[in-house]
Amino acid sequence: MSTYTPGQPVTAVVQRIEIHKLRQGDNLILGFSIGGGIDQDPGQNPFSGDKTDKGIYVTRITPGGPAHEAGLRMGDKIMQVNGWDMTMVTHDQARKTLTKKNEDTVRLLVTRKSLEDAVKNSMGSYPRQ
Amino acid sequence: MDTESTYSGYSYYSGRSRGSHRHGERSRDRHKPRSKDSRSEKSVTINTPPAEPLLGDSVVRGEQVQDDNWGETTTAVTGTSEHSLSQEDIVRITKDLEDSVGLDCRRYFTLTLAVILGLLVFLTPLAFLLLPHLLWPEKLQSCGTACEGLFISVAFKLLILLLAVWALFFRPPRAGLPRVFVFRALLAVLVLLFVVSYWLFYGVRILDSQDENYQGIVQYAVSLVDALLFIHYLAIVLLELRQLQPCFSVCVTRSTDGEMRHYNLGQLSIQRAALAILEHYYCDFPVHNPALLSASKSRAAKHLAGLKVYNVDGPGNNAAAGLAHSQSRAMIAAAARRRDTSHNELYYEEAEHERRVRKRKARLVVAVEEAFTHIKRMQEEEQKKAPGDVMDPREAAQAIFPSMARALQKYLRTTKQQHCHSMESIQQHLAFCITNNMTPKAFLESYLAPGPTLQYSRDHWLARQWTLISEASVTSGLKDGSIFVLKCADFSLVVTTKKIPYIQMSEEYIDPKSHKFVLRLQSETSV
Provide, as residue numbers in chain A, all residues whose Cβ is less than 8 Å from the Cβ of B517.
none
Does B526 contact A91 at a Cβ distance shorter than 8 Å?
no
Chain B residue with Cα closest to A22: B527
A residues 43-82 lying closer than 8 A (beta carbon) to B: 43-45, 59-60
Which of B520, B521, B526 minimises the CB distance to A33?
A: B526
Provide, as residue numbers in chain A, all residues whose Cβ is less than 8 Å from the Cβ of B523.
35, 40, 91
**Biggest alpha carbon–alpha carbon distance for chain B:** 122
* Among A1, A13, A8, CA closest to A123: A13
- Mutation target for A interface from B518, B519, B520, B522: give the one with most A CBs within 10 A: B522
CA distance B511 to chain A (A): 26
* Among A87, A99, A83, CA closest to A27: A99
Per-residue model confidence (pLDDT) at position B206: 86
Does A34 contact B522 at a Cβ distance shorter than 8 Å?
no
Structural domain tally of chain A? 1
* Among B89, B45, B138, CA closest to B405: B45
Q: How far apart are CA A53 and CA A45, in angstroms?
A: 9
Residue B376's pLDDT band (cuts 50, 70, 90):
confident
Residue B452 β-bridge partners: B286
What are B441-486's pLDDT values in tens digits?
A: 999 998 988 888 877 776 666 567 899 999 999 899 999 999 999 9
Provide, as residue numbers in chain B, all residues whose Cβ is less than 8 Å from the Cβ of A32.
526-527
- Choose the most confident range, by mean pLDDT, from A65-69, B143-147, B210-214, B516-520: A65-69
Are the CB atoms for A97 and A84 separated by under 8 Å? yes
Q: How far apart are CA B257 and CA B290, in angstroms?
A: 9
Are the CB atoms for B124 and B195 separated by under 8 Å? yes
- Mutation target for B interface from A95, A96, A110: give the one with most B CBs within 10 A: A95
Q: Can you list the residues of chain A whose pLDDT is less than 70?
A: 1-4, 125-129
Does B527 contact A34 at a Cβ distance shorter than 8 Å?
yes
Length of chain A: 129
Q: Is B517 on the interface with A (CB under 8 A)?
A: no
Size of interface A-B (CB pairs under 8 A): 39
Whole-number percent of chain B with pLDDT over 90: 41
Q: How far apart are CA B132 and CA B148, in angstroms?
A: 15
Which of B521, B524, B525 minimises the CB distance to A41?
A: B521
**pLDDT of B37 above 50:** no
**pLDDT of B214 above 60:** yes
Domain assignment present for residue A3? The answer is no
ipTM higher than the 0.90 cut = no
Are the CB atoms for B481 and B498 separated by under 8 Å? yes
Q: How far apart are CA B358 and CA B336, in angstroms?
A: 37
Domain assignment present for residue A6? The answer is no
What are B227-270's pLDDT values in tens digits?
A: 999 999 999 999 999 989 999 999 999 999 899 999 999 999 99
Residue type present at position B76: A
Q: Which residues contact A70 (CB under 8 A, 6 or more apart)?
A: A17, A18, A19, A20
**pLDDT of B5 above 50:** no
**Biggest alpha carbon–alpha carbon distance for chain A:** 57
Report long-range pairs for B226-229 (Cβ below 8 Å, ≥24 apart). Answer: B226/B157, B227/B194, B228/B121, B228/B161, B228/B191, B228/B194, B229/B157, B229/B160, B229/B161, B229/B164
Provide, as residue numbers in chain B, all residues whose Cβ is less than 8 Å from the Cβ of A84.
none
CA distance A95 to chain B (A): 7
- Mutation target for B interface from A45, A59, A60, A81: give the one with most B CBs within 10 A: A59
Whole-number percent of chain B with pLDDT over 70: 72
Which of A30, A39, A59 minimises the CB distance to B524?
A: A59
Burial class from Cβ neighbours inside 10 Å (0-12, 13-18, 19+) for residue B250 reads buried
Provide, as residue numbers in chain B, all residues whose Cβ is less than 8 Å from the Cβ of A36.
522
Provide, as residue numbers in chain A, all residues whose Cβ is less than 8 Å from the Cβ of B526.
29, 32-34, 60
Torsion of CA B62, B67, B73, B77, to 10 degrees: -50
Per-residue model confidence (pLDDT) at position B299: 78
Residue type present at position B88: E
Provide, as residue numbers in chain A, all residues whose Cβ is less than 8 Å from the Cβ of B525.
33-35, 91, 95
CA distances from B277 to B249, B250, B478 (A): 11, 9, 13
What are B332-355's pLDDT values in tens digits?
A: 777 666 667 778 888 999 999 999
Does A33 contact B522 at a Cβ distance shorter than 8 Å?
no
What are B496-512's pLDDT values in tens digits?
A: 999 999 999 999 999 99
What is the DSSP pairing of strand B524-526 with strand A32-36? antiparallel
CA distance B515 to chain A (A): 20
Q: Is B521 on the interface with A (CB under 8 A)?
A: yes
Per-residue model confidence (pLDDT) at position B144: 83
* Among B232, B106, B259, CA closest to B181: B106
Per-residue model confidence (pLDDT) at position B64: 43
Q: Is A32 on the interface with B (CB under 8 A)?
A: yes
Q: What are phi and psi of B282, to 5 degrees?
A: -65, -20
Per-residue model confidence (pLDDT) at position B427: 92
Per-residue model confidence (pLDDT) at position B412: 92
Per-residue model confidence (pLDDT) at position B45: 40
Domain assignment present for residue A32? The answer is yes
Domain assignment present for residue A129? The answer is no
Provide, as residue numbers in chain A, all residues whose Cβ is less than 8 Å from the Cβ of B520.
41, 43-44
Per-residue model confidence (pLDDT) at position B434: 92
Residue A17 β-bridge partners: A108
Which of A30, A33, A99 minimises the CB distance to B524?
A: A33
Q: How far apart are CA B17 and CA B20, in angstroms?
A: 6
Q: How far apart are CA B110 and CA B310, in angstroms?
A: 61
Are the CB atoms for B252 and B495 separated by under 8 Å? yes
**pLDDT of B117 above 90:** yes
Which of B520, B521, B525 minimises the CB distance to A34?
A: B525
What are B119-163's pLDDT values in tens digits?
A: 999 999 999 999 888 888 888 888 888 888 999 999 999 999 999
Torsion of CA B351, B352, B355, B361, to 10 degrees: -120
Task: List strand residue ranges (DSSP E) for B347-475, in order.
Answer: 467-470
Q: Is the dihedral of CA A3, A5, A6, A10 positive or negative?
A: negative
Q: What is the pTM of this model?
A: 0.63
Element (H, E) at B76: none
Helix%, strand%, coil% for chain A, nearest 5: 20, 30, 50
Q: How far apart are CA A74 and CA A96, in angstroms?
A: 20
Mean pLDDT over each residue of chain B, to the nearest integer:
79
Q: Is B504 on the interface with A (CB under 8 A)?
A: no
HEC-encoded secondary structure of B302-355: HHHHCCCCCCCCCCCCCCHHHHHHHHHHHHHHHHHHCCCCHHHHHHHHHHHHHH
Provide, as residue numbers in chain B, all residues whose Cβ is less than 8 Å from the Cβ of A19.
none
Residue B291's pLDDT band (cuts 50, 70, 90):
confident
Does A34 contact B524 at a Cβ distance shorter than 8 Å?
yes
Torsion of CA B60, B65, B71, B72, to 10 degrees: -50
For residue B265, how many other CB atoms are within 10 A of its CB? 21
Domain assignment present for residue A127? The answer is no
CA distance B25 to chain A (A): 58
Does A40 contact B522 at a Cβ distance shorter than 8 Å?
yes
Are the CB atoms for B80 and B419 separated by under 8 Å? yes
Which of B522, B526, B527 minimises the CB distance to A45?
A: B522
Residue B273's pLDDT band (cuts 50, 70, 90):
very high
Per-residue model confidence (pLDDT) at position A34: 94
Are the CB atoms for B55 and B420 separated by under 8 Å? no
Q: Is A99 on the interface with B (CB under 8 A)?
A: yes
Residue B102's pLDDT band (cuts 50, 70, 90):
low
**What CATH number is given to the structural domain containing A99?**
2.30.42.10
Q: In this structure, what DSSP letter does residue B289 have?
A: -
Q: Is B518 on the interface with A (CB under 8 A)?
A: no
Per-residue model confidence (pLDDT) at position B31: 42
Domain assignment present for residue A59? The answer is yes
Are the CB atoms for B174 and B275 separated by under 8 Å? yes
Q: What are phi and psi of A27, to 5 degrees?
A: -110, 155
**pLDDT of B79 above 70:** no
Does B520 contact A30 at a Cβ distance shorter than 8 Å?
no
Domain containing A31 equals: 14-121
Domain assignment present for residue A7? The answer is no
Q: What are phi and psi of B311, to 5 degrees?
A: -95, 105
Q: Is B437 on the interface with A (CB under 8 A)?
A: no
